[in-house]
Amino acid sequence: MKEKLVLIGNGMAGMRTLEELLKLAPDKYDITVFGEEPYGNYNRIMLSPVLAGEKTINEIMINDLQWYEENNVALHSGKKVTRIDRVKRQVIADDGTVESYDRLLLATGSRPFMLPVPGADLPGVISFRDIKDVDTMLETSRTHKKAVVIGGGLLGLEAANGLMLQGMAVTVVHISETLMNQQLDNAASELMLQELKSKGLNFLMSHATESISGEDRVEKVHFKDGSEIDADLVVMAVGIRPNIELAQSAGIHCERGIVVDDTMQTFDPTIYAVGECVQHRSQTFGLVAPLFEQAKVCANHLAQMGIARYISTVTSTKLKVTGIDLFSAGDFNGDDETEDLVFKDAARHVYKKLVIRDDRLIGVVLYGDTVDGTWYFQLMKDGTAISDIRENMLFGQHHIGDSGHGAANSTDNLPDDAEICGCNGVCKGDITKAISQHNLYTLDEVKAHTKASASCGSCAGLVEQILASTLGSDFNDTPSKKAMCGCTDLSHDEVKTAIKAQELKNIPQLIEALEWKNPDGCHSCRPALNYYMLSSWPREYQDDPQSRFINERVHANIQKDGTYSVVPRIWGGVTNPRELRAIADISEKYKVPTVKITGGQRIDLLGVKKDDLPKMWADLSDAGFVSGHAYGKSLRTVKTCVGSEWCRFGTQDSTGLGIKVEKMTWGSWTPHKFKIAVSGCPRNCAEATIKDIGVVCVDSGYELHVGGNGGIKVRATDFLCKVATEEEAMEYIAAYMQLYREEGHYLERTAPWIERVGLKHVQALVVEDETNRKRLAQRFYESQENAQTDPWAEHAAKYKENYIPIKQVS
Amino acid sequence: MSWTEVGPLADIPNKGSRVLVTKDGDVAVFRTAGDEVFALFDQCPHKAGPLSQGIVYDKRVACPLHNWVIDMESGEATGPDEGCTRTFETKIENGVVFISL
């Protein structure tokens, strides 16, 4: 017989837990849900748009009654559970309904805190919490005129704005002089105050409420300073308190909230709790993102998978309040030891403040323009040294050495048919529709449903903006570190550290030791793990071809029709008639449909059938060619210009150096593809300043430039240093490449890697510390000993059967 | 049901696949980590990518062209993607794989 799971609380946290649970273990439990409100589960965050008349109740339903039926979940709506009998394992509702349970999940949420002042119980004094409150406000707005909102926080301002839009004259009463003091500093709060005043809201700042009076219903609000104000409706929005009465009455350990451990279990092992009612490591919760994290963890344990832990992390808050974009994170007020970077343009309603301590960003407030919030938050979490970008960082990521996407970054004004994702042709309207239809909350969900930002990812910021403005006020972009993939909660760095620390020497061992959720991993993590193994244990690790993407498995690039392209290595882009003749002959022999000169100074033979690959490679080998690795997360090419041998401006032998560098670096696997160029003079014909590392020859030596990229987001290189001789240039290149191999996350090009760790860090380890440079270079040479075998010759000789069908049947 | 011999299980790489050429097109024959065998028409329902070339994990394969993930038991695309490719029954007898075409 199935076990019985009872959920008390039909709100967002509890229901999200059920949804996650049904995904993991659809048939494990008979599920019963109790909800006090007479509806299915609705999106409480969206009550503000309902009040403002922008949405209807039906539009904010997450799980309608049909959902409960389809998923075999019994719903007792409109019934309040009044007692939990932990001995008999039963819950009892106010109408006498009794349900027994094997596991109980408490998601009783929070209650609005009502100021304990005289008159707080008068008709017309309400909170702003559920559909009933919204109905009361809408009704009152039709018959009455004056509304007073007590509390100038997020919820209070949303209520005030909604009531104003319904035609009421609204006054907001706030106890301090800073609106939204949880999220804003004084300056931002002042801007907000001015902007809301100009919209028509009235404010009484620094006013403490003493009492509320009236005959049959509320008439006046009185303040401690003796003043008073007329009111037909009073909305209290001074905070929420975890709703713990039921848990307390059942003797479950509570402090401010129901105390849970990292698995969301209460002190009674059969009872779990999630959401605003819980207290986890002394913290209580009010925004939606952490609740969803909790739901995931709790579902994992209810499904008895037992591997997830809830760890609350630094969060950022991204809000849209009454149409104003706000973002804040960390310690945004600062102290005597911090420095502020401040940007203020009152006419455009934009304010930004960055708080810095010891060359690290520790706090952010953004008002009006929150595009760069995610970026600042990332800098904070990563503890990135900011001295290199300090000069321009206030103006946003697009002003830090990249000329790619400076313009269009405000999605609000875009029409629905504006294309957001150029790779997959997804328009703004498709995204907003998917968000509201499928109740999407995170970038990953939008990616999965619409494919927007699922390919090259350059539009991810725009998609997040759309997500924020569609979800409205309580959108909180998922905080915390980025998990490597769905198989684990660990980040790339944590996995890499574990590989070294626990001496994990192959993928199955890692999957077991780090408790991967899928025993085989997935198509996303396996290639990454294979690379980390290879770069951590270059001498021992046995490469796993089944964990490589097809291109690396068959040493050619798959094309849209399932054929492949073949690119032989042409050292430094220098070839000769004999080689060209060989390529021409081989192309004819295998009827290659397209022969194309690549951007990396090589020749691409396109449209080759898989069966022909080994034969073609054997022929190319005979002509002296090796693989060009045009298909790999590896060294691609070293592009050169002709240099001093021919060019009248050339200062050094750039072609010669390019060939030497290519001979040194070919065959090495890297976190992502790696491109090099050598230019013979500062005219830079080899375009060295958009490569992963570029050498620009000058009369007195060699300039080394790093972290460039000509792809999705153009990024010019940073100047690493200048060296005097070719030998030095080679050593620096080896050391730099090795540092990237060791530190880069899989699929992270050098450009984002350098932005993440900082140029200073790279300079310190490669330029300033000679011993370390030599060690890095040494490790690179060592790993190259096993890497420089031509895979084409090897596969043509040994693995032909991998390229042919197992059998042909008629 | 008539069975056609495909070849020895050992000729299919673990967590990999081989192609069986038939007069109606290619069929991808997969071998999972647990040595189960599945067969799918070798075309992704999305843009006809050769599923035989994808990364295999659990009972799934990720298409090499755009990473659609296909369930090998049902032939259905997983997640929010929608589409289905033909499946074929297979069996293993004495280490030899057979398929019902």
What's the pLDDT tens digit per position in A447-475? 888 888 877 777 887 888 888 777 764 55
- pLDDT of A410: 62
Q: Does A547 lie at the interface with B, CB-CB under 8 angstroms? A: yes
How many Cβ atoms are within 10 Å of A690's Cβ, its own excluded? 20
Q: Nearest by CB to A518, which of B12, B19, B57?
A: B57
| pTM of this prediction exceeds 0.90 | no
Q: Which residues have a Cβ under 8 Å from the Cβ of A770 and sit 6 or more positions away?
A: none
Binary contact (B53, A550; C-beta < 8 A): yes
Q: Does B47 lie at the interface with A, CB-CB under 8 angstroms? A: yes
Tens of pLDDT, residue by residue over A548-572, are 999 999 999 999 999 999 999 999 9
Q: How would you classify residue A684: left for phi > 0, otherwise alpha for psi between -120 and 50, otherwise beta?
A: left
Alpha carbons A5 and A30: distance in angstroms, whole number: 6
Q: Would you tell me which residues 454-483 of chain A have a C-beta closer than 8 angstroms to some C-beta of chain B?
A: 455
Q: pLDDT grade, residue A691 (50/70/90)?
A: very high
Average pLDDT over residues A214-233: 94
User: Tokens 């049909």 appear where?
Assistant: A66
User: Tokens standing for A440?
Assistant: 């999407």
**Minimal-distance CA residue of chain A relative to B27:** A805
Tens of pLDDT, residue by residue over A112-151, are 999 999 999 999 999 998 999 999 999 999 999 999 999 9
Report CA-CA distances (Å) from A158 to A114, A230, A544. 18, 21, 55
Pick the residue of A550, A563, A631 with the most B CBs within 10 A to test the interface with B by mutation. A550
* Strand order across the A125-127 sheet: A125-127, A233-236, A146-150, A169-173, A202-204
Q: Does A519 lie at the interface with B, CB-CB under 8 angstroms? A: yes
How many Cβ atoms are within 10 Å of A649's Cβ, its own excluded? 12
Q: Does B21 lie at the interface with A, CB-CB under 8 angstroms? A: yes
What residue spans define the domains of chain A?
3-110+242-302, 125-238, 316-399, 419-471, 492-548, 551-622, 635-787
- pLDDT of A403: 38
What CATH number matches the domain at A3-110+242-302, 3.50.50.60, 3.30.420.40, 3.40.50.300, 3.30.1490.20?
3.50.50.60
Q: Which residues have a Cβ under 8 Å from the Cβ of A232 and sit 6 or more positions away?
A: A124, A140, A144, A145, A146, A147, A217, A218, A219
CB A272 within 8 A of CB A104: yes
- Closest Cα in chain B, distance from residue A454 (Å): 9
Task: Say how many CB pairs under 8 Å bridge A and B.
Answer: 87
Indicate if the pLDDT at residue A747 is higher than 60: yes
Instruction: Say which CATH superfamily domain B4-100 falls into.
Output: Rieske [2Fe-2S] iron-sulphur domain (2.102.10.10)
Buried b (16+ CB within 10 A) or exposed e, A36-71: beebbbbbbbbbbbbbbeebeeeebbbbeeebbeee
CB A716 within 8 A of CB A689: yes
Average pLDDT over residues A233-246: 93
- Closest Cα in chain B, distance from residue A382 (Å): 30
- Of A206, A141, A213, nearest to A172 by C-alpha is A206
**Minimal-distance CA residue of chain A relative to B50:** A562
Q: Does B56 lie at the interface with A, CB-CB under 8 angstroms? A: yes
The letter for the amino acid at A52 is A
Binary contact (B55, A810; C-beta < 8 A): no
Provide the ipTM. Answer: 0.93
Average pLDDT over residues A220-247: 94
Indicate if the pLDDT at residue A439 is higher than 60: yes
Strand partners, B56: B61
**Minimal-distance CA residue of chain A relative to B15:** A546
Report CA-CA distances (Å) from A534 to A230, A497, A500, A556, A672. 74, 14, 12, 20, 14
Q: Which residues have a Cβ under 8 Å from the Cβ of A2 and sit 6 or more positions away?
A: A27, A28, A29, A30
How many Cβ atoms are within 10 Å of B12's Cβ, its own excluded? 19
* CA-based torsion, A215, A218, A224, A227: positive or negative: negative
Q: pLDDT grade, residue B15 (50/70/90)?
A: very high
Residues of A in contact with B58 (CB under 8 A): 518-520, 522
Q: Nearest by CB to A546, which of B15, B29, B69?
A: B15
Q: Does B59 lie at the interface with A, CB-CB under 8 angstroms? A: no
Q: Does B29 lie at the interface with A, CB-CB under 8 angstroms? A: yes
Q: Does B12 lie at the interface with A, CB-CB under 8 angstroms? A: yes
How many Cβ atoms are within 10 Å of A542's Cβ, its own excluded? 9
SS3 assignment for A387-440 = CCCHHHHCCCHHHCCECCCCCCCCCCCCCCCCEEECCCCEEHHHHHHHHHHHCC
Same fold, A3-110+242-302 and A125-238: yes
- pLDDT of A313: 67
A390 vs A738: which has the higher pLDDT: A738
Instruction: Say which CATH superfamily domain A635-787 falls into.
Output: Sulfite Reductase Hemoprotein, domain 1 (3.30.413.10)
- Of A391, A326, A325, A327, nearest to A356 by C-alpha is A391
A125-238 fold: FAD/NAD(P)-binding domain (3.50.50)
Alpha carbons A271 and A283: distance in angstroms, whole number: 19
Which CATH class, in words, describes the domain spanning A419-471?
mainly alpha
A551-622 fold: Sulfite Reductase Hemoprotein; domain 2 (3.90.480)
- Closest Cα in chain B, distance from residue A803 (Å): 9
- Closest Cα in chain A, distance from residue B27 (Å): 10
- Of A111, A107, A15, A131, nearest to A65 by C-alpha is A15
- pLDDT of A404: 39
Query: What is A316-399's CATH number?
Result: 3.30.390.30
- pLDDT of B92: 96
Indicate if the pLDDT at residue A401 is higher than 60: no
Indicate if the pLDDT at residue B45 is higher than 90: yes
**Minimal-distance CA residue of chain A relative to B30:** A806
- Closest Cα in chain B, distance from residue A459 (Å): 17
Tens of pLDDT, residue by residue over A755-799, are 889 899 999 999 999 999 999 999 999 999 989 999 999 999 998
What residue spans define the domains of chain B?
4-100
- Closest Cα in chain B, distance from residue A427 (Å): 18
Q: pLDDT grade, residue A383 (50/70/90)?
A: confident
User: Tokens standing for A121?
Assistant: 């119980």
Average pLDDT over residues A69-96: 94
A726-743 and A770-787 helices, crossing angle to 10°: 80
Give the strand pairing for A202-204 and A169-173. parallel
Alpha carbons A87 and A270: distance in angstroms, whole number: 11
Average pLDDT over all residues of chain A: 90
Q: Nearest by CB to B19, which of A449, A520, A805?
A: A805
- Closest Cα in chain A, distance from residue B101 (Å): 10
Q: Does A501 lie at the interface with B, CB-CB under 8 angstroms? A: no
Tens of pLDDT, residue by residue over A258-300, are 999 999 999 999 999 999 999 999 888 887 778 888 999 999 9
Q: Which residues have a Cβ under 8 Å from the Cβ of A717 and sit 6 or more positions away?
A: A688, A689, A690, A691, A693, A694, A705, A706, A707, A708
